[in-house]
Amino acid sequence: MRTLHERVGGDAALEEVVGALYERLSADERVQHFFDPDRLPELRASQVRWFRSVLGGAPPEDRPDIAAAHAGLTITDDHVDAVLGHLSVCLHGVGLEPDVHRQVMALVKRLWLARQF
């Protein structure tokens, strides 16, 4: 069976999605303060690694520690909605099948909420 990573279109598609995502995040007043312009390349690379692992394209130990990355940040539901909205648009941008798009979004949302338990 194909992993979500493969169905999304592999690393090439992920790079594209994450690149577009950080462009939008940096331009969005609601959330841009979270993303230090000097660290963008590093953040992007880390985000790609996170997606790759979460979507089954790399083992769990390759996943960057999101908890550490978010430590000390005050993240509200509005921030989350903003980021997820941008992510959804960027995933559409690489022409995913609706079902794959839905699955990726469902997974990301679930993992986020799981951390709130």
Using CB under 8 A, list all residues that contact another protein.
Answer: 2, 53-56, 60, 77, 99, 102-103, 106-107, 109-111, 113-117
CA distance 37 to 83: 17
What is the C-alpha to C-alpha distance for residues 5 and 51, in angstroms, rounded to an integer?
8
Cβ 109 to another protein shortest distance, Å:
5
Distance CA 58, CA 63 (A): 8
Q: Which is closer to another protein, CB of 38 or CB of 77? A: 77
Q: Supply the minimum distance, in Å, between the C-beta of residue 95 and another protein.
A: 15
76 exposed, middle or buried (CB, 10 Å; 0-12, 13-18, 19+)?
Answer: exposed
Cα–Cα dist 62/43, whole Å: 15
The least CB distance from residue 40 to another protein, in Å, is 25
Residue 41 or 114: the one with the smaller Cβ distance to another protein is 114
**Considering beta carbons, is residue 75 or 113 the nearer one to another protein?**
113
